[in-house]
Structure 1
Amino acid sequence: MKDLQDLLPAEAVRLDVRAADWREAIAVAGRLMVETGVTTDEYTREMVANVEENGPYIVIAPGLAFAHSRPSPAVLATGMSWVRLAEPVAFGHESNDPVTLVVALAAQDSAAHTSAMAGLARLLSDPATAAALAAAPTPEALRAALAGERTPDGSETTEQPAAPEQPAATGASAVPEPSAAGPRAASLHKILTVCGNGVGTSLFLKNTLEQVLDRWGWSRFVTVEATDTISAKGKASEAVALFTSREIARTLGDVGRPVKVVQDFTSTAEVDAVLRDTYDV
């Protein structure tokens, strides 16, 4: 498994870049992966086509777009790029626009980058680390913040957020017990997280959901599988529910199982609320 330091060299980071629109923002992120030997120019076109075909579901949190496409011959190695924009641009997302950060991923398969996605999901769900990343003055400072070394002002950070985001007040207990409404020791439930390609945003949402399940103590009762829209339709009957973006939910349509929309894939509070609604706890 590769971590963020392996996948994101300093040469693949650009800060305070100007882009006229979302296509140009993705093009900058794609060009960085070409320059670092991760992809060919064709992969940049594939990332743009992904948004044109599936909508702006890659805008997974307020201000954050996670650009990617399927594994293809245009991917030479698994890697990432990071582009912070000088001025935000609109991607067309109804709740998370405008975008100031474009993180791009090129994956040769669905395995090599899973630990990096887990790490990135944890970091971006921590407000202090997210603020440090937003303020990083240089690519080196940004990579240090990602590694949990030092923030731009020189203060220490940690690889694991010390205080995870708490769920919004719901009147329910902080940690629901497995009950008749939820999973029990005698059963194993599955939740699918779904995106257009199964290797990017679905993995991100999977990792945020697993953080919530871990906090609840439900990980032994519920498994989470990241998948793409085509596979999700065939696997839906195996699942208790499908978690995804509004755009992908429209693409899925009626799959015979509840399809739950998550707007902010970095928010453990929102995922907590959606999970409570799924199990009525």
Structure 2
Amino acid sequence: MKESYFTEDNVQFNVEVKDWKDAIYKSVALLRKNGYVTDKYATEVIKNVQQYGPYIVISPGIAIPHTRPENGAIEVGVSLVTLKKPVYFKDSSSPVKVMISFSATDNDQHLEIIKMIVKIVENGLINTISTMNSIADLNNLIEDDRP
């Protein structure tokens, strides 16, 4: 059995944020705390959203803050933050309740994380995850919910 994606070190539930920028900072802060990214990573994600639009909002309810490896990635990492109140990104009509940030040092290392995110979206798990408060339940949901 493979190691779980989420632990006490990379998950926070029911987080209060001011706006979408604050949501990105708080989600990426878990990556930074664990040594996966540098301080500039969140700033680069925000710059990209401002320049290219809300490309990180991949489905109603979920955003996946990330940027290119050269923008501060140190190693592959993932974090999950659920928000106390949904936020709206500029030019997006979808409220975001779940933030899954990730980092990678090349174009291939993060593919397992992407597969996990696709599974969450395809299996309609976003609303369930947005109301969770247990890391064990989160991991069980992701690992047990097979298509």
Report the TM-score, using the length of structure 1 for normalisation: 0.48
- What SS does the aligned partner of 1:104 have? strand
| Large movers: runs of 4+ above 3 Å | 129-132
Counterpart in 2 of 1:274? none
The answer for the alignment partner of 1:116 in structure 2 is 113
**The one of 40, 47, 70 aligned to 1:49:** 47
Q: Of the two structures, which has the highest relative contact order with CA contacts closer than 8 Å and spacing of 6 or more?
A: 2
CA spacing shift, 1:34–1:12, aligned 2, 3 Å = same
Aligned equivalents of 1:130 and 1:9: distance in 2?
Answer: 18
Does structure 1 residue 141 correspond to structure 2 residue 137? yes
After TM superposition, the structure 1 = structure 2 runs for residues 119-268 of structure 1, keeping only pairs within 5 Å, are: 119-127=116-124, 129-148=125-144, 158=145, 160-161=146-147
* Deviation sequence 1:46-75 (CA, Å, 0-9, x none): 111110111112111111111111111621
Deviation of 1:92 after TM superposition, in Å, equals: 2.0
Which residue does the alignment assign to 2:64? 66
- CA distance in 1: counterparts of 2:115 and 2:135, whole angstroms: 21
Q: How many Å apart are 1:4 and its aligned residue?
A: 7.7
1:102: which partner in 2?
99
Partner in structure 2 of residue 79 of structure 1: 77
Q: Which residue of 2 aligns with 1:5?
A: 4
Q: CA deviation at 1:102?
A: 1.1
Q: Contact 1:15–1:139 (CA<8 Å) still a contact in 2? A: no
Q: Which amino acid aligns with 2:131?
A: A
What are the Cα deviations for residues 177-235 of structure 1, in whole angstroms up to 9, with x where unaligned?
A: xxxxxxxxxxxxxxxxxxxxxxxxxxxxxxxxxxxxxxxxxxxxxxxxxxxxxxxxxxx
Q: Across the two proteins, how many residue pairs are aligned to each other?
A: 146
Question: Helix, strand or coil for the counterpart of 1:10?
Answer: coil
Deviation per residue, 1:107-135 (Å, 9 max, x gap): 111111213312321232113x4444233
CA–CA distance in 1 between the matches of 2:72 and 2:15? Answer: 25
Counterpart for residue 37 of structure 1: 35
Counterpart pick for 2:17 among 19, 26, 36: 19
Q: Which has the larger radius of gyration?
A: 1
Judge conservation of contact 1:57–1:93 (CA < 8 Å) in 2: no
- AA aligned to 2:26 is V
Aligned-residue RMSD, C-alpha: 1.9
Q: Please say if residues 103 and 110 of structure 2, whose CA atoms lie closer than 8 Å, have aligned partners that are also in contact.
A: no
- Secondary structure of 1:11's aligned partner: coil
Identity percentage of aligned residues:
28
Task: Give the Cα–Cα distance (whole angstroms) in 1 for the partners of residues 126 and 136 of structure 2.
Answer: 16
Q: 5+ residue gaps in structure 1?
A: 149-157, 162-281
SS in 2 for 1:44: helix
